[in-house]
Amino acid sequence: MTRPKLILWYKGSNKLPIYSLDLRGGFKRGHHWKDNSTIGNRGFVYYQESPGKGGGDLVQWFSSLQLSPVLREDSGKYRCRIDFSNTPTHNSWVKLKVIVPPRSPVIENDRGVSLTTKSDPVTEGSSIRLHCTTSGNPVPAIIWKFRGIPVHASSSHSDANTGVIKSSVVIKDIEQTELDQVVECIVSNSDLVLPASAAILLDIISPPQRIKIVREFPHFTGGTVYNLTCQVLGSSPAPEISIYKGIKLLHQSSREGNVSGRIHSLVVQYRAERADQGEFLICRARNILIPNLSIEDQWRIDVQYKPEVEVRVEKGSVYTEEGQDLELRCIVNANPPAILIHWFRQGQDLETMMEKNIKIYNDKLTITNILRLFDS
């Protein structure tokens, strides 16, 4: 092939080149010029050659225009003009189509608020309208899917100049069984790039279904602080949960929610007291969007505590004379109730003394004909 003297690149119908490579001084001293208003430093014309078999100006050569990075405005028709010394000028054309991958789609509600995880809460039997917006070149196509099944868009508007497209979909007659079903917006504009998508879960207003106070302990011990957990299944949005001791609201310690499983839990601290015996712990849950509807669970409080003992004079007096009788009763307050009572005198078990004038009937001690030796 004959060695070229001048390589020119044109874009569109422009009469002035966007790039020129002057090889009249030899390819090693080729002079590069570029139009900064179009490609600037992003463009470069490569040229390489090797000696031909015939010698002289016959060489093997190759040239290309390279752009990096490629921009959307680089799309168009390009013309390469090659001038030689003794042969006619050669022109060739190429059309460049630049694919701008779709921008990550955004799902919005009617108020233009972006939805990232869930839709706005809707009631059973109602409808919801969602919008998906993206851009790209060419203008992307948008496909809606609900529960994995394609659904028709209710409207679509696009701008070829900016590549922006907005598609809307309406889901009608929503059923409770569609709670947490996936609504997906899928966008694509070329087989050369992977589709992009955005997805949210359908949120349907629903009441709490079940409630349970977690019974980790068979009973409580007086003076001990416990963490009480109440679990609620269902409810959208998340339920309002409260735990009471009788009518007293207990202070919240922590709260957790499992969005996918619709399990919510509340933890409170409770200090068991003897006076709480027989009262109820009550956990109550409600959805604030559903008035006059709540569920609750109750747990009767059983507080166990060590015995509290009081000795009471039933007959006679602690200040008595010899020969008098004395009757004492042991009053025990305990939970669980005391099953065994022992009477002691100065550390000695009275049941072992085998005294004839001493009679013990469980919680009652009777001493007849008191002697001075019982002064204790």
Tokens of 31: 């002079």
Query: Any idea which residue has 């004379």 for tokens?
Result: 321
The pLDDT, as a whole number, for residue 322 is 78
Residues 242, 249: Cα–Cα separation, whole Å: 7
Residue 239, preceding bond cis, omega within 30 degrees?
Answer: no
State the average pLDDT over residues 249-266: 78
Nearest Cα neighbor of 233 from 214, 271, 268, 261 is 261
Ranges of beta strands (E only) in 113-213 are 114-115, 128-135, 141-146, 149-151, 155-159, 164-171, 182-188, 196-201, 206-213
The pLDDT, as a whole number, for residue 164 is 96
CA dihedral 288→293→295→296, nearest 10 degrees, is 80
Residue 121, preceding bond cis, omega within 30 degrees?
Answer: no
Res. 56: pLDDT tops 70: no
CA 240 vs CA 86, 263, 284: distances in Å: 90, 13, 8
User: Exposure string (b/e) for 234-273, b if CB count within 10 Å is 16 or more?
Assistant: bbbebbbbbbbbeeeebeeeeeeeeeeebebbbebebebb
State the average pLDDT over residues 9-35: 91
Contact (CB, 8 A) for 328 and 364: yes
Centroid of chain to Cα 89: 66
Nearest Cα neighbor of 145 from 126, 169, 127, 112 is 169
Residues 83, 346: Cα–Cα separation, whole Å: 129
Res. 76: pLDDT tops 80: yes
| 3-state per-residue secondary structure call for 63-125 | EEEEECCCCHHHCEEEEEEEECCCCCCEEEEEEECCCECCCCCEEECCCCCEECCECCCECCC
Q: Which amino acid is at 335?
A: N
Could you tell me what percent of the chain has a pLDDT over 90? 63
318-333 per-position pLDDT tens digit = 777 777 888 899 999 8
Q: Which CATH architecture has domain 6-96?
A: Sandwich (2.60)
State the average pLDDT over residues 260-265: 77
Pick the CATH number of 306-374 from 2.60.40.10, 2.60.200.20, 2.30.30.40, 3.10.105.10: 2.60.40.10
pLDDT band for position 375 (50/70/90)?
low
Tokens of 272: 């068991």
Evaluate the CA torsion angle 172, 175, 179, 181 in order and state its sign: negative
The pLDDT, as a whole number, for residue 324 is 84
* Residue 118: Cβ within 10 Å count: 15
Residues 251, 271: Cα–Cα separation, whole Å: 11
Q: Where are the domains of the chain?
A: 6-96, 106-201, 207-301, 306-374
State the average pLDDT over residues 338-359: 83
- Considering only the top CATH level, what class is 207-301? mainly beta
pTM of the predicted model, to two decimals?
0.59
Domain boundaries 106-201, corresponding CATH code: 2.60.40.10
171-217 per-position pLDDT tens digit = 999 998 898 899 999 999 999 899 999 999 999 998 899 999 999 98
Q: What are phi and psi of 74, to 5 degrees?
A: -75, -10
Contact (CB, 8 A) for 211 and 296: yes
Going by their DSSP bridges, the two strands 220-221 and 303-315 should be labelled as: parallel
The pLDDT, as a whole number, for residue 155 is 96
